[in-house]
Amino acid sequence: MYQHCIKRIFDFILVFCTLAIIWPIFLIITLWLYFANRGAGVFFLQNRPGKKGKFFKVIKYKTMTDERDENGNLLPDEKRLTKIGKFIRSTSIDELPQLINVLKGDMALIGPRP
């Protein structure tokens, strides 16, 4: 219990300080994606199993559009991926919003991936 509490406090403080420093970058990327996705949302939420099998929503940047074919099915990923989305994925910036999951306590900085 003691180790868990210390780790949680350390994670929270480190992520809070990091977000306090990089918030302008976070804001610019969020606005950039908002306009690239034509107002269709900036964040993508995905259910992932966490500790003891409990599911939580992982927050990521939305790098694809919601375009569908004439039958209402989503187009293949390679057709929906935006140019900005390709850059954001290649630099792993799409993982940046997961720091919010760490603040919420859903994830930790160090440990197994969900």
Condensed to tens digits (0 to 9), the pLDDT of residues 9-29 reads 999 999 999 999 999 999 999
Instruction: Tell whether 111 is covered by a domain.
Output: no
With 80 as the cut, is the pLDDT of residue 2 above it?
no
Q: Is the pLDDT of residue 114 over 60?
A: no
Domain total for the chain?
1
pLDDT tens, position by position, 41-74: 899 899 998 888 889 999 999 988 887 888 888 8
Q: What is the pTM of this model?
A: 0.80
**Domain-embedded: residue 109:** no
Q: What confidence score (pLDDT) does residue 1 get? A: 65
112 found inside a domain: no
Pairwise pLDDT comparison (26 vs 78), residue with the higher score: 26
For residue 59, the enclosing domain spans 2-104
47 domain residue, yes or no = yes
In a domain, 69, yes or no: yes
pLDDT in the model for residue 58: 94
Provide the angle, in degrees to the nearest 10, between the axes of the packed helices 2-36 and 83-90: 150
State the average pLDDT over residues 27-39. 87
Contact 74, 66 (CB under 8 A): yes
Model confidence at 98, pLDDT cuts 50, 70, 90, reads very high
Q: Is 81 contained in some domain?
A: yes
Does some domain include residue 91? yes
In a domain, 88, yes or no: yes
